[in-house]
Structure 1
Amino acid sequence: MEKVSVVIPVYGQWNLLKRNIDALLKYDRDFISEIIVVNDCSPDQNPYEFDDEIVNIITNDTNKGYAGTVNNGLRKAKSSIIVLLDSDAYPLGKFIEKLLTMYKANPAIGCIGFGTVDDYGNDTGNFQYEPSILGLIAGQQLEAKFGFFRFWRNKNILPYSCAVSFTKDCLAGIDYLDEKRFPVLEADNDISMRVHRSKWKLLFTREIIICHKGGNSYKINYKRVVLFHESRWKLLRKHGLIWPVFLAKFLLQLRINMELVIFKILKNKNDRYLDKLEGRKIITKSIKHYP
């Protein structure tokens, strides 16, 4: 009987990891050959005991960030099909037998992303459409508000890495996550875009649902906003989606400067305002150094 490897990166949050592993073993133990937990040098020790026969906890030599931690687990996985879950995600029922059937039905499939819901059953998405330079120039809020105007968007679906799966052959063929360019953000978007551009097919299905509320991994502050802009630019540049570069930089700079003017006019002094102001100041200085 074919079985899968499950890879789970973790940085603290051991109680959420335990919930995840308990649910995996409760519903699909017979279809799991190994659960590889990759500890990215968590500040606290694991207080739980797991079944050593199936759960293997490995610890990075140094803090590698998200992509490096995931790659450490993916490269060590032995099964031909690998399920990747965030530590704070967990299955709501059996799903691996269905997943194996989907892969078996079409050998060209290299990646299958899953639907996600929160603890109350509300859909939390778990994918985005392939981004564009117009979306980056417009900004996240404006892009989301007018997201129904998709005539300029690529329709490729990019599943998030909190609940996704790959074949080992696909991962090896596209050389895993690009941890050098995208150690934290955009690594999942990049690998999905590379799957779309490879010989492999990518499928997103809501026939498999994983519970994942999200929001536990990275605090939303000006540092994340700065990192998002830089990482999104690198992603679009890597895939040849920015042209001409000088015009894109000019328009992006224009949008950031407009936001700075608005913030200065408002003269709000609360912490959220000051955080946004600091982020825009850094971004406007950084844009000229974008590759």
Structure 2
Amino acid sequence: MVESSPVTVLKALKEFIVPLSKEEFSTLEQNILSQGCRDPLVVWQRPDGSNVLVDGHNRLKICQKHDLPYKIKKVHFADMGEVKDWMVDNQLGRRNLNPDQMSYYRGVKYLALKNSKGGYKNVLSKGQNELSTSEMLAEQFKVSESTIKRDAKFAEGVDIIGKSNAKLKFQILSGQSKVKKSDIQVLTEHKDPDRLTFKNEADLFNKAKVIRDEILDDVESKIKDVQKKKIETARAVLAEKEPAFLDRDDRLKKIKGMIVSAINKAINEKDTGAIKELKKLIDRLEKELF
């Protein structure tokens, strides 16, 4: 550990972790003023020699404000992705997270593991199947697998909000916002979530409703398509059987029309299925005539 060494603060890392509330920051400041900065700042020493701050942004701000000494602890990281993984694990290891913050960081961890080399690989023992990413995290945090997957959608939704409104993201994760979790999760279903912007809670609510309505309309449209295909299939079957319920002359006329239709389809569309159907119709015609 080195005392009061210069550190570099990156905006991307500073904003990655949910900031303290005014009350929490004030409490930390009073503790440092009375007891000093006891916990070292964690830094990532990059190849260029710079010490990038990974943990301790609030402590550094307070120490610089009051000209207090601090210590740093250098930790090796391969890249920025590894740094963020460490930061998430560090947050998840704390006991003062509220439910939404815990859900958010579990979701962030799931997405990071899932997107890196196809997900987490964890073989229990020889001959057993590997755990999926969601199964591994569910076991680690003692929650259900479905909870982990919902956490992932929540984390994605929160980050979508944060791109255009960092303040609203903070309000959601700090418990100051009344936005429903389901409204945040549904944002991930938008066709182009990167283009979404949010002015405030009301704007978010309205856009979530629009997305939900679009999903419902799409589902209803697909249901109608399925129903339409079923009706068409039923009509085709009925049309094929219909001649049996007519008198002989009408049956012959019906079969004749179907034969002509099959011939045209075979010639015009080069449809081999129509040729097979034509053979069946000729057999039926033969039975009617003889």
Bigger relative contact order, structure 1 or 2 (CA pairs below 8 A, ≥6 apart): 1
Structure 2 length as normaliser, TM-score? 0.24
Q: Decide which structure has greater strand share.
A: 1
Q: Decide which structure has greater helix share.
A: 2
